[in-house]
Amino acid sequence: MAGRWRSGGWRALLCLPLVWALPLAALTGCGPVTGPDDAVGRDGRAVQHLLDRRAEAVRERDAAAFLATVDHGSRRYREEQGRVFRQLAAVPLRSWSYRLVRTGGFQPALGTGRRLAAQIELRYRLAGYDTAPVVSAQHLTLAQRGSRWYVAADDGVVDGKRSGEQLWDQGRVEVVRGAHSLVLGVGQRRGLLHEVADTADRAVPALGRVWPGAWAGRVVVEVPADLDRMAALLGASPNGYRGIAAVTTGEVGGRDGNPSPADRVIVNPEAYQVLGDFGRQVVITHETAHVATRAATTASTPLWLSEGFADWVGYRTPGRTPGQVAPELADSVASGRLPRALPPDDAFRFGSEPDRLSQAYEQGWLACRLIADRWGSRKLVEFYREVGEAPGRSGAVESALRRVLDVDLAEFTADWRTYMKKELGEGVGAGGG
């Protein structure tokens, strides 16, 4: 439907680490995968020493020391690495480290020495914003010259997609700091970056009012140049993100006191800039809700709850009727087609039919709105946390409904369907939001 949009959900990105963690043999055609302390032995330790020197050069902003880790026989790669180092200059780093995860078989190198395929783990934190590191996989070719190892090439391309691409790989990063936000942009008007920061600065307090408990209380937003570059940051095809205004990357976590990796809200500038002020605020608030609720969101949390809660927070600002927030669902209700059950996870898959995707979000939003209206916003938060604390997906919602709301799933579903007819009856035909 023309003019419709949806802010994307972070859970759709959970497949990315699985892509990034493919064995190097699948990436390079090398031999069996080994680790730095087994068959490679001394070479593995020498490679880790190279990576430590490279990381120190980044932390110290020492371009000469950084380029000293790059193979002199790889002229184009050296030029590219020098450019990337300069593009990273404005990014406020608190920490930066590499770890050798595994290596592939040795390959003959041109001239003397050997070449080695390696999977590397990059971990970094942004000063003042990240309470846990971003973790990203890189796949590199290393070259040995004499007794020393050097980085010779980036091999992290699988099915035409580069794994572990960061914003500074795409161009010079501009930085805008807000009261509760850090916005990093490449190829964008500085005015847009300031506007995004202002929007995020309003979103963070909005979460503070409804989500009690510890979370960072700040958000990092990345604004790449266009849709294709957004998709590159996600290691995905751009086709699945057309019309998606933003996504939040991250992993489920928070169990046993272990912090989740740092989140990034990534904006699709092409979809974001066609929105009005209200739509932009909803998008950024929705994504900030994912950041705030990360530790309480686990594999036990269904998407209708995580996405519905994020939309509920985003749409708490007055100004839209239920029919305007949920036009596709309102049309369906008007035609007598009420959903019989809460939407399954696969209904939220990016790239699916637009109407089905929109209705999934709208159904989740209305379910969370029902809980907040009938039982109160505190009960909604308690229900969200209770579901996330379940040991597994099976029975998690049912148990939380009984414990927190004193209803069973059948009763809640019937109440949700009745609420849907009541709330959407007056909003049918009101138009898009």
Give residue 318's identity as a one-letter amino acid code: P
**Helix (H, G, I), strand (E, B), or coil: what is residue 266?**
strand
Backbone angles phi, psi at 151, to 5 degrees: -80, 125
pLDDT of residue 318: 78
pLDDT, position 110? 47
What pLDDT was estimated at residue 215? 87
What is the full per-residue pLDDT of the chain (433 aa) written as tens digits?
Answer: 223 334 443 323 222 222 222 222 222 223 333 344 443 467 889 999 999 999 999 999 999 999 999 999 889 999 999 999 999 999 999 999 999 998 875 555 444 568 889 999 999 999 999 988 999 999 999 999 888 999 999 876 544 455 679 999 999 999 999 999 999 999 999 999 999 999 999 999 999 999 987 788 999 999 999 999 999 999 888 888 888 999 998 766 554 545 566 899 999 999 999 999 999 999 999 999 999 999 999 999 999 999 999 999 999 987 789 999 999 999 999 988 999 999 999 998 876 677 888 999 999 999 999 999 999 999 999 999 999 999 999 999 999 999 999 999 999 999 999 999 999 975 443 333 3
**What pTM was estimated for this model as a whole?**
0.84
The residues with which 233 forms a beta bridge, in sequence order, are none
What class, spelled out in words, does domain 16-165 have in CATH?
alpha beta
Q: Order across the sheet with 114-126: list the strands.
A: 93-108, 114-126, 134-145, 148-154
CA distances for 178 relative to 13, 198, 270, angstroms: 27, 7, 23
Put the strands of the sheet holding 219-223 in their side by side order: 174-177, 181-185, 219-223, 264-267, 246-249
Structure tokens at 112: 């003397």
Cα–Cα distance, 284 to 290 (Å, whole number): 10
Alpha-carbon distance of 365 to 408, in angstroms, equals 19
Closest listed residue to residue 190, CA positions, set 176, 172, 200: 176
CB half-sphere exposure, 379, CA atoms < 13 A: 18
Whole-number Å distance between alpha carbons of 58 and 96:
7
With beta carbons less than 8 A apart as the criterion, state whether 393 and 339 touch. Answer: no
pLDDT of residue 41: 65
Of the candidates 294, 325, 344, 350, the one whose C-alpha atom is nearest the C-alpha of residue 420 is 325
pLDDT, residue 111, reads: 46
- pLDDT in the model for residue 317: 81
Give the DSSP letter of residue 259: P
pLDDT of residue 15: 28
Residue of 277, 309, 326 lying closest to 385 (CA atoms):
309
User: What residues does each domain of the chain span?
Assistant: 16-165, 298-433
Measured from the Cβ of residue 297, the count of other Cβ atoms closer than 10 Å reads: 26
**Distance, CA of 279 to CA of 378 (rounded, Å):** 26
